[in-house]
Amino acid sequence: MYLAVKLVVIFAPNKISEFMSIVAIVGRPNVGKSTFFNRLIQRREAIVDAVSGVTRDRHYGKSDWNGKEFSLIDTGGYVKGSEDVFEAEIDRQVELAIDEADAIIFMVEVESGVTGMDEDVAKLLRKSSKPVFLAVNKVDNGQREKDAVEFYSLGFERYYTISSINGSGSGDLLDDIVASLPDMDDEGTEDAAEKLPRFAVVGRPNAGKSSFINALIGEDRYIVTDIAGTTRDSIDTTYNRFGFEFNLVDTAGIRKKRKVKEDLEFYSVMRSVRAIEHCDVIILVFDASRGFDGQVQNIFWLAHRNNKGVVILANKWDLIEGKDNQTTNEFEKYIRKQCEPFTDVPIVFMSVLNKQRIYKAIETAVEVYKNRTKRIKTSELNETMLDIIAATQPPQHKGKYIKIKYVTQLPTEWPAFAFFANLPQYIKEPYKRFLENKLRQKYDFKGVPVTVFIRKK
């Protein structure tokens, strides 16, 4: 985590602007913005691909230079007047990033020279009062250094020749950028961000994940279209409202492997899986009108295998016609049947479009997080569980009595318990499930996998 450049990928509009300066990287598509972003944060966090328009949402990272930390924004390529359904949204995201930034890196590339799209971006930036640093990328030899002179025509006082691939020239650029940034006190923000719980919003493409986060934060932070696969990167947002504070991670939709055709989507799905592996609670959003299908179940079991807390959100419940309380009960029974034997999972029926029960979903996720981090005193555990075991002892094995004498909770990130017995090898899975169910009944581990180990006394 701690390299020459430290990273905490977070976004909290009020919090970051209060403690840390923001630098936005903007420019037309495919000039190397994401490559430069990855170099500055020392991690391949933004997706890089030869396909134009890979970066769609703004992507946030944290970097430092000369002892000064700043938040870095990677934006989608700016294209004025495009008919692409994504481009209008991307352009709006770029304009929002410019509004948020304290300094702007305007990136162009020497191979293509000055283009009409570069001039469009330059016109947009000249309207801003923010300091703009013109970075001419892909300058890796003397001839290209000479060719870069033509970028004076964009109307900026100075340009910087750099290479995002090997980092040449970036030192002079960063020296001037950090010198232009206002002094801000960011003491303690990094530790606070790292300690915050992480809730990953996951599901199939087009289930309403980004819309859910936008509705929560009250801002169109993530691009939303009717086309599946709009979100490609996994991006964090710090949520701090109504007494709750945690990181929400928006992820790319996860489809079946056989339907993932392009490399770009493959990397997006891999980042979603990584987001699951590094979070505390999974908020599994699915389209109720499509049902709790096989791919949604696969995501559920992926979370279970990684011992994460789980909240299931049945989105678009408003689209179900003729529903009543019985409909809800039957649908819930159906979902729990698919989740067996891990049926102790909260299910929230909601509509992001109508903002129905979205805060209930967050309250439930916070409860699940508390359940996942719950610690039971050893004395209390033994007092409770040994009486239960005495009333329902493990089955004998070939005339041998099995005695459980002691139980303790293990120091893991999720609830895990060790039961010490004289003959642990003869305690089978059904009795382990019995112990798990009793732990759930007594201590409320709703939404959290519970692991039971039987060990030699």
Domains of the chain with bracketed CATH: 22-180 (3.40.50.300), 198-254+263-373 (3.40.50.300), 378-456 (3.30.300.20)
Whole-angstrom Cα distance, residue 149 to residue 126? 19
| pLDDT at residue 202 greater than cutoff 90 | no
| pLDDT at residue 104 greater than cutoff 80 | yes
Residue 243 confidence (pLDDT): 75
- pTM exceeds 0.85, yes or no: no
Higher pLDDT, 162 or 120: 162
- The two three-digit tokens of residue 89, written as one number: 């949204």
**Average pLDDT over every residue of 272-290:** 83
The pLDDT tens digits for 60-75 are 677 888 888 887 877 7
Which residues sit in the known binding site for GTP? 27-34, 74-78, 137-140, 203-210, 250-254, 315-318
| pLDDT at residue 119 greater than cutoff 50 | yes
Residue 319 confidence (pLDDT): 86
- Lowest-pLDDT range of 197-201, 224-228, 392-396: 224-228
